Structure 1
């Protein structure tokens, strides 16, 4: 393998996974260029909990202080029936070798991505680069973008999501699996949560059977991330009316229904909840998958972004320590496949009024 300083590494996709790969490699003295199809590096969607294994990544990357500024520690999660009947109040599970690390740090995806991107040198970010074609030549790969640019790289890291162009052209075409559920997501001011959101930084999940209504407090913003997960017909960009959304939440308590009635309809973003079946092969000798392109999962365990960030750190360390790219990619797959497969399976367990725990993962750690 070339010296680490000479490696040409291209990351396709500038979301949380792709940006994490760039900063993880930078922390180890390895340059990687990020190619993002959009005109800016930005995220939409829900608030999430950053788990301790991912927090450790930020410490490795020199970004922990920046992460602290946009996150707040949460020690518990609640599952609630109706508007007020607490079924479960449970401490976050320990996922590391340190038993004091029973927490999550709550953050909005946009603030998380901005924090990660702050660690990438500007000359390594290439916007308006949508991957059109990738050719694997064995010991290197060639990528052509819709804007006419062509690059060559010793390693291409595909962080381009559940419908990954790179994966489908090089590794094999994989169709996303629809869960049968839609997620309606919106940010509201804390004062508009009608007293249902926790001021103690507790993630609250209100349940109606397997339907769920997440209220995740974002102290940094003085906002609450709302995520309503209910059955619906598949479309990549569903078009529903406010009345249809309200009709789908009649099983929840009256205060939750009133909360949704008060939300401006144009602020709600609706997406289908899809995942992938576990993929047997992630890599060739010069191309590998990371994050959702490798192991997209449902949001129920809140581990999608966490798995992508942890992928990035393990991959960067594997590249640093291996003698060849092929060896590094094999080591990366060996370490990451078991844990990502587990969370893919666990993510299909929806929070429920019949659940015995808020964290099914506890049985495995």
Structure 2
């Protein structure tokens, strides 16, 4: 039985381990650099194409017990004028929901499933990848352990799922350089607040330079309150370079986001209620001409880090994991399997990387500001009939998460015997 080494124990790496196991590949080890596994991060929005994969991996029930099933997506200008609204998940006709969830909750469910199904030895933390090599015996990763020792761990296949600063990607593309920044700073936080709209709606609002995204990710049945994930973005204030990540001070953004004027939602109060705010530069990676070298391939942000538009970060990592597992199950040779995986996935993610550099579907907010900077009474005075729906549908098709693509296919990443139709 082939041995697979997965570098990175985040969402993509754990989804890959579960997908491979579900496809009949049992000898797997996941190597995670972090010494302690804690429920870190803020919110994620998982689109139905990835949720269907998670359903096929039999973790959806545990996720829905902790997540919010997103019902609608709404775009507003900063005056509170509604630009576009569309149903999401089951409300839109998908066979599975769209999930808004705390990253720590999603990671915890996936990690528990990996340990239960593959054994505790399959997940090794405190194991940082520092190099990758290949020879006639297989693929090998050099690992620095938390106790200061180092070792070589070998397998028939190495999957680099170790994020935007991937050591595996660097080994394959040593001249790749640093991630590409666009001068925009993002602040992220979570706040407990009263539900807005129906309590399950995702909001994106802004003008030509600012953006804010808000959506609930947890509900407290006792108090009736919800935890709201929020992400605010704007060019670096005062020309001050963005921090590389970590805790931030609200003074860096609060004055800029005081321009929001919704009579039904106090956005400034939601930001101020956050116990901790983190600051990050908006950055991505240039698309690669290939992800694979011999028995080493890439997945998730290691392969195609993109700007956070359209809820496609974790979603596309889960889809990578699923398609890779299916390809390995369906092909007799690693060469054929990895070629099939990359042929299917790389064009999709490359197009999303490019589209997200132009703000993806959120570009409608910029267009609305350019056409009506002081707001509008009727959106039909700003956009032609069908223009907004066409933008949304085109992006969904590019990401392969349109209704037809999700509802009509059998679940990817599973063995032919285990597949099921809707």
Trace 1:154-233 onto structure 2 (pairs within 5 A).
154-174=156-176, 175-191=178-194, 197-220=196-219, 222-232=226-236, 233=241
Q: Given the two structures, how large is their TM-score scaled by the length of structure 2?
A: 0.77
User: 1:161 Cα shift?
Assistant: 0.7
| d(CA) in 2 for partners of 1:246, 1:139 | 56
**Residue 378 of structure 2 corresponds to which residue in structure 1?**
none
**Paired residues of 2:254 and 2:268 also in contact (CA < 8 A):** yes
Identify which of 259, 264, 267 aligns with 1:256: 267
Change in Cα spacing, 1:257 to 1:68, as seen in structure 2 (3 Å) is: closer
User: 1:126 Cα shift?
Assistant: 0.3
**Residue 116 of structure 1 corresponds to which residue in structure 2?**
110
Change in Cα spacing, 1:73 to 1:26, as seen in structure 2 (3 Å) is: same
Q: Deviation string for 1:256-307 (max 9, x for gaps)?
A: 234334444xx00111111111101101121000000000011111101000
| d(CA) in 1 for partners of 2:203, 2:53 | 26
| d(CA) in 2 for partners of 1:201, 1:37 | 35
Q: Deviation string for 1:331-357 (max 9, x for gaps)?
A: 100010111112112222332252564
Where structure 1 has 5 or more consecutive residues not aligned to the other structure, the ranges are 1-5
**Paired residues of 2:89 and 2:98 also in contact (CA < 8 A):** no
**Paired residues of 2:190 and 2:274 also in contact (CA < 8 A):** no
**Paired residues of 1:10 and 1:157 also in contact (CA < 8 A):** yes
Identify which of 124, 127, 140 aligns with 1:126: 124
Q: Given the two structures, how large is their TM-score scaled by the length of structure 1?
A: 0.88
Where structure 2 has 5 or more consecutive residues not aligned to the other structure, the ranges are 221-225, 369-386, 398-422
Larger radius of gyration: 2
Once superposed, which parts of structure 1, at least 4 consecutive aligned residues long, lie more than 6 Å away?
A: none
User: 1:363 Cα shift?
Assistant: 1.5
**Paired residues of 2:248 and 2:277 also in contact (CA < 8 A):** no
Matched, 1:305 2:314: yes
| d(CA) in 2 for partners of 1:126, 1:299 | 29
Give the length in aligned residue pairs: 351
Question: Alpha carbon RMSD of aligned pairs, Å?
Answer: 2.4
Trace 1:347-358 onto structure 2 (pairs within 5 A).
347-350=356-359, 351=362, 352-354=365-367, 357=388
SS for the counterpart of 2:357 is: coil
SS for the counterpart of 2:154 is: strand
Matched, 1:82 2:78: yes
Change in Cα spacing, 1:133 to 1:299, as seen in structure 2 (3 Å) is: same
